[in-house]
Amino acid sequence: DAEVIGLNEYEENPPVALVFWSFRFMVGLGFLFIGLALWGGFLMYRGRLADSTRYLKAMIAASPFGYAALLTGWYVTEIGRQPWVIQGELKTSEAVSSTLTGAEATLTLVTFVVLYVGLMLTALYILKWLVREELRSLGVRESSGGRWHGPIPWVSSDD
């Protein structure tokens, strides 16, 4: 029996269009990922996963979409609740820490960036090491120019 109040009746509103379309984009990408997973499961069931170039190209093309879905979800969460931290109780401007300095916030950000870059470089080094070890176990050797020579399964001479 309550009266529904529209957004125009409030003094401060979040940017509705950005939240609206970000949510739809995020959900659409989620359905795309489900579709790709089902397609991949079907191909794996049929034993044709590694042979389907169309699927593999689709997976490569879809790889940045995970990041886009993450960002749009973050937009929905953070922009959609502004200017409130707790709706009707605590505004964002009131929730700001008075003891945190700009230098401390910057140092925290720089620390996280350095840590994440270090983790990424470590992961890339380990992946490179794993690939080299696998190639060596297959009898493939590296020449002085950094190219690999030798038998690689499923690769023909014209590849």
pLDDT higher than threshold 60 for residue 158: no
Degrees to nearest 5, angle at CA 159 with 125 and 51: 85
The CA distance from 74 to 69, in Å, is: 9
**For position 79, what pLDDT does the model report?**
86
Q: How confident is the model at residue 10 (pLDDT cuts 50, 70, 90)?
A: confident
Spatial CA neighbour of 55 closest among 70, 71, 35: 35
Q: How confident is the model at residue 149 (pLDDT cuts 50, 70, 90)?
A: low
Kindly report the pTM of this predicted structure.
0.59
The CA distance from 9 to 74, in Å, is: 26
Tell me the pLDDT tens digit for each residue of 37-62. Answer: 999 999 999 999 989 999 999 999 99
